[in-house]
Each structure stands twice: as C-alpha cells, then as structure tokens.
Amino acid sequence: MTNSSGIADDRRKFFRDPSSRVVLIIDGIPHLADDWSPDGFSVQMEAHGHAAGDIINGEIDVFERGEKGTFSAKVIRAEGDLIAAQFTELSSHIYIYICMINGQPIGTPPGAPKEHEDS
C-alpha cells in the first residue's frame, strides 16, 4: 500500500484480531492465524527460507464463510517460527467479510461505530 505521497506505508491500519477464525493454506499446509485483520496476519510456521520482503501466495479460509479465497502477502517479519505479513492481494469476498467482522481502524475510539455502520 502507498500513502498519499506515493511512499510505501507498512504501518497497520486495523487492529489485529487474535480469535481463531482464519486459516491460511500456504504450500498446501493449513496454518491457524495467530492474529489477523483486513491488512494482514501473523502465523506460526517454519519460515522455509522466507525473509522480509518475500511474497507468499495461498488460500484463506475464514470460519463461517463457506467459500475459500486466495491471497498474496508481503512478509514484513520472519523470526523463528513466526511470520507476519501484509496482504497485497486478497479475494474481494474475503476482504469484505473480514472488514465486517473486524474493520475497526486503529485510532478509532473504543465503542465508536465502525466505518461501515451508519451513524
């Protein structure tokens, strides 16, 4: 993602949700996300040579959402068995669903209406 100046901006825009609802299928192996948001995820998995800046491709399955989606994500951090990544591409139906269940932007006061709710 880029900011208004056209400079890459890797800062989080949404809170990460630690609930066990998202499974990422990477290289054919399912991994339960440690945390996730419309912007990205972190997952415990062997790094398999992944380093910051690498692109990971796979499938994403969100519990209670019938159809899987696909994603591409840039590795932001790879430390030991932890990979944190930022989505660069995400199936639109998954993105919309994730926004509906966890779309509270960082900096929004607790209890404030989410962006998609009418005030």
Q: What is the pLDDT of residues 103-115, one digit of tens each?
A: 665 555 455 555 5
For the entire predicted model, the pTM comes to: 0.74
Does some domain include residue 40? yes
Does some domain include residue 17? no
Q: Give the domain CATH number at 42.
A: 2.40.10.220
Does some domain include residue 6? no
pLDDT (0 to 100) of residue 28: 92
What is the residue range of 36's domain?
22-101
pLDDT confidence bin for 19, thresholds 50/70/90 = confident
Does some domain include residue 11? no
Does some domain include residue 106? no
Structure tokens at 64: 């209670």
Q: Average pLDDT of the chain?
A: 80
Taking CA atoms, 45 is separated from 26, 76, 87, in Å, by 10, 14, 17
3-state secondary structure of 38: coil
Does some domain include residue 108? no
Does some domain include residue 29? yes
Does some domain include residue 13? no
Letter for the amino acid at 56?
I
Q: How many domains does one find in the chain? A: 1
Alpha-carbon distance of 90 to 96, in angstroms, equals: 10
